[in-house]
Amino acid sequence: MIKNPVLAGFHPDPSMIFVDGTFYIANSTFEYFPGIAISASTDLANWESIAAPLNATNMLNMMGNPKSGGIWAPCLTYCDGFFYLVFTDVKSWASGPFKDTPNYIVKSPTIEGPWSEPVFINCSGFDPSLFHDDDGRKYLVNMEWDYRKQGNEQFTGILLTELDPITLKPITDPIKIFAGSERGLVEGPHLYKIDKYYYLITAEGGTSYEHAMTVARSENIDGPFELHPNTHLVSTKDAPDAGIKKTGHGSLCKGSDGRWWAAFLCGRPLDESLRCPLGRETAIAEVIWKEGWPYLKDGGIVAREQFQGYGEKHIQRVFDYDFNSKAFKQDFMSLRMPADYKILEDGRLRVYGNESLSSLHNQNMLVRRQTDFCFEAETCLELPFNHFQKMAGLLYRYNEDNQYYLRVAFNEEKQQKCLGILCFDNGNFSMPMGEDEIPIGNGKLYLRLTVKGKYGEFSYAKEDKKWEAIPYQFDASILSDEYADPMGFTGAFVGMSCQDMMDKSGYADYYYFSYKVID
């Protein structure tokens, strides 16, 4: 049995396909760079990160994008020897009545690329999806956003637009084919044609605890669409005891043995606070067909924590990163823009100082997803600069408003480098160590973050490697969608960062980074 989620930590909005013996999933990456995470598996149990197609600024420039903006809900498809990706680069979404949501298409002959330059399609709403009909025609579906309405009514339905199969540009005006069910907030559409029916899979109910994956069908691509007998394929809205919650926003695909699968997002609350610092993750369930409708094989609409796939999960508990390795490049991301760094001949990672922890433009960090409720992250660095505006350290973040930073910087009063903690709690800034920052002098400094469920703490060591705990326990659960104001869509990340708010000449050298699952 394979345990859900199959992709742990921040892996929302899965779009899954099956091509030549391999399952592929594309996930949203929001403001993290490079854009779109693609994972591959042959057994549904073991997944490898294999591609991030939007990996250069000519493909994706998110400078200035708001927190939880950026890449929303990519759709991955395959047709006639090409992989296609459709995605939204959200430029504004939470400030006022508008949403700026340009939608694009890229394609590639291989999943690893090279991918074509993005082709702009429209910006009438988000969550675009590409459908290849069996007559060679291509269609785009996306949700429509109406700024004139209020609340849930701003999600006015699913639009269908025919595209030129060569240029991928629209050749018809959009028509509305589906208004959603009573659950409301219809988004995340995917179209499929199976036998004589067109099936429309959508997300509804918002992306939290009332979320759902809704199914409708029609004999005509432009409708009318009738709802599934259960309305929803998956949802945990009325299942408070479900092991995985928030289930919804998913896709369907068929394996080589004829079995059908649904991939969908889910969340695992840490405790009764219902906060999910691991973000929205990816789960899978087997689907069977009855009288022309898909149903969960296990019955009902509450997906199980386990399913029978094609293999057994291999568990990795320790990740010791070599900065030259493929694993480091696959697991670590930057924020909005490519990270500014280089790898020195001796293997050190030199991270250059850039803008502050509050910037929406050009911060500089290399961070990886938190994938476990209990973990340790550790690194070693040197900061060869003596100014309070030049700093580096171990960063544990959700967004600009919610983060913890164990950083080293020069302290003029103590006339040496000192170690302190910077905290952001829904935008409220504090330095809990105050005047008790720890003098550390020059040389290497070892930093560690230990998180056990809701609680986290930092520790440090000098070159003698004698670890000292910093007597400040903090709340790790605030690094979650549920705590953010407005609600966010990502998850907690941990990693390395450097700031230089004086003249941008500074840098820090990191010697290693490790992430370890603990009990």
The Cα 189–Cα 75 span in angstroms is 9
Measure the N-to-C terminal CA separation of the chain; round to a whole number of Å. Answer: 22
The CA distance from 451 to 411, in Å, is 28
Considering only CA atoms, which of 214, 161, 510 is closest in space to residue 346? 510
Residues composing the chain: 519
Residue with tokens 């290497």: 444
Q: Specify the 3-state DSSP secondary structure of 331.
A: helix
Residue with tokens 């043995």: 257
For residue 116, the 8-state DSSP code is P
Chain-centroid distance, C-alpha 380: 27
- The answer to whether 214 and 204 are in contact (CB under 8 A) is yes
The active-site residue, picked from 89, 127, 187, 500, is 187
Q: Is 187 one of the annotated active-site residues of the chain?
A: yes
Sign of CA dihedral 142, 360, 37, 213: negative
> How far apart are the C-alpha atoms of 166 and 479, rounded to whole Å?
44
Structure tokens of 231? Answer: 């309305």
Q: 25 and 14 in contact (C-beta within 8 Å)?
A: yes
Told to judge if 463 belongs to the known catalytic residues of this protein, a careful annotator would answer: no
Strands 493-500 and 390-399 come out as antiparallel
Q: Write out the two tokens for 454.
A: 């809701």
CA dihedral 70, 74, 79, 80 (to 10 degrees): 20
Q: Which of 13, 127, 286, 401 is the catalytic position?
A: 13
7 secondary structure, DSSP code: B
Catalytic residues: 13, 187
